[in-house]
Amino acid sequence: MSGRHAAIAGLGLTEVGKVYGRTAADFADEAVRLAVTDAGLKLRDVDGLLINAGKSPGLDLGLAKRLGLRDLTLLSQVQSFGASAGIMVAQAATAVLSGAATTVVCVFADAPLRENARSGDAYLSSSLAATGFRSAETAGGFTSVNHRYAVAAARYMAHYGVTDDHLGAVAVGQRQWAAHNPAAQFRKPLTLEDYHRSRWVVEPLHLFDCCLVSNGGAAVVVTTAERAAALPRPPVHVWGWGQAHPGYVMERGSDFGLVTGAAASGAAAMKMAGITPSDVDVREIYDCYTYTVLVTLEDYGFCAKGEAGELAASGALAPGGALPTNTGGGQLSGFYLWGMTPLVEAVQQVRGQAGEGRQVPRHDVALVSGNGGVLDHHATLVLGAGHAS
């Protein structure tokens, strides 16, 4: 992408995990304030706010009033589930480059965890409330999103000969990264044996194939690269972005489970940025499940279709590997703030501020993915430490 750029100038991350007694709006409020302060700005400098609400109620446009924001020129809610963070940043970048706004905050927050309740319960209610055609599937045992992803993973694994050792290598490698992330919920070392001993959630998905559930919030401040250069934090340039919403037709011939929206959104984002996969230093891949890491890496072109499992098993994605991936532990071991999880880590990496044991030596270009629904929505961002060539 040539010409003017947008840049991420501020990052805010609240305490995440089993943090009780606070609402999603409470977390969002704090995340916005943290991000604006991190950018060296005041709330009065903000003229755009994009909000992605999670599963819990109460986070909406009222956040602007709660924060005391006035005279906004951009205010909206975005909802493409796990793809929302990338889409918000893309919309914010478009706004600042067009002059529609100068300083846009993008925020996600959620508080689905309840004290003394199982984490898995946080995401059950929408399936169980189904009526009509979908309720027949629920009555037939498809009671959670885990079942639908398990089917996608099972198809992918059977088609390409991917094994649970391959999936386990993703979980183990990301836990190694998480050990160096003070914000990560799971930092205790995980072995492949631990992985195999963990219970089945829905076979072929073990417990450690599935992401965490977290309470918390995260926000970024997007402005022009010129303005970001005058602010205290190293600017993280937004080189490219793309979206894809495959709209799988669930009938004979469908690619469901085999090819995701990463193929189209990644190609679009990398074309805009003027890069290829070989230019990427660090990959922050949406990992609601280990399976999505593998299929997304393939769809982005980091390896041929069906080869990502062997790539993970070789250690390439883990600390010290050739293709550092999900360097904060991702959503499997770090924390689950939808598309903000990979974005937060990418910003820290490109800034060179991820910390000892986690910061990758080459960190000029980061690829960030977001995946929403059951492979229904995909967003990609290409972030760079400087202006794109």
Partner 1 sequence: MTAHIIARRDAASAAWFDGLTEGLLLIRRCDACGHHCRPDAEACTACESRDLRWAETMGTARVVAAVSTPGEAGTATIQALVELAEGPWMHAPVLGASSAPPPGTALVLTILRPDHGEPFPAFTVPA
Distance CA 108, CA 126 (A): 20
Identify whether the C-beta of residue 32 lies closer than 8 Å to the C-beta of residue 12: yes
CB of 247 vs partner 1, minimal distance in Å: 10
Does the protein bind partner 1 through residue 60 (CB under 8 A)? Answer: no
Question: Any contact of residue 165 with partner 1 (CB under 8 A)?
Answer: no
For partner 1, which is the closer residue by CB, 130 or 229?
130
Is 336 catalytic? The answer is: yes
Q: How far is the CB of 153 from partner 1 (least distance, A)?
A: 8
Residue from 3, 68, 141, 182 touching partner 1 (CB under 8 A): that is: 141
Convert residues 182-201 into a mask of x (bound to partner 1 by CB under 8 A) and - (unbound).
-----------------xx-
**Nearest CA-CA partner of 360 in 312, 329, 324, 334:** 324
- Count of residues in contact with partner 1, rule CB under 8 A: 36
Q: Which of 37, 94, 119, 138 binds partner 1 (CB under 8 A)?
A: 138
Q: Are 176 and 200 in contact (CB under 8 A)?
A: no
Dist CA 217 CA 107 (whole Å):
7
- Residue 135 interacting with partner 1 (CB under 8 A): yes
Tokens 């593998």 belong to 294
Number of alpha carbons in the 13 Å side-chain half-sphere of residue 135: 4
**Dihedral of alpha carbons 340, 248, 132, 135, sign:** negative
Between residues 158 and 230, which has the closer beta carbon with respect to partner 1? 158
Shortest Cβ distance from residue 306 to partner 1 (Å)? 15
Q: Smallest distance, Å, CB 336 to partner 1?
A: 22
Q: Contact 50/106 with Cβ under 8 angstroms?
A: yes
State which residue, 83 or 201, has the beta carbon closest to partner 1.
201
248 assigned to active site: no
Interface with partner 1, residue 294, by CB under 8 A? no
Q: Which of 61, 117, 128, 230 binds partner 1 (CB under 8 A)?
A: 128
Which residue's CB is nearer to partner 1, number 3 or number 141?
Answer: 141
Site string for partner 1, 235-274 (x = CB under 8 A): --------------xxxx-x-xx-----------------
Helix (H, G, I), strand (E, B) or coil at 367: strand
The residue annotated as part of the active site, out of 160, 286, 289, 300, is: 286
Task: Determine, following the binding rule CB under 8 A, whether residue 154 of this chain makes contact with partner 1.
Answer: yes
With CA atoms as reference, report the closest residue to 59 among 51, 67, 68.
51
What is the Cα–Cα distance from 217 to 304, expressed in whole angstroms? 35
**Residue 139 interacts with partner 1 (CB under 8 A): yes or no:** yes
Q: Measured over all CA atoms, what is the biggest interatomic distance in the chain, rounded to whole angstroms?
A: 58
- Binding of partner 1 by 98 (CB under 8 A): no
Q: In what order do the strands lie in the sheet with 236-244?
A: 74-77, 48-53, 103-110, 216-224, 6-13, 236-244, 377-384, 365-372, 282-284
Q: Following CA atoms 33, 37, 43, 46 in sequence, which dihedral angle do they give, to the nearest 10 degrees?
A: -100
Which residues lie near partner 1 (CB under 8 A)? Answer: 128, 130-133, 135-143, 147-148, 150-152, 154-155, 158-159, 199-200, 202-205, 249-252, 254, 256-257
| Active-site annotation, residues | 286, 336
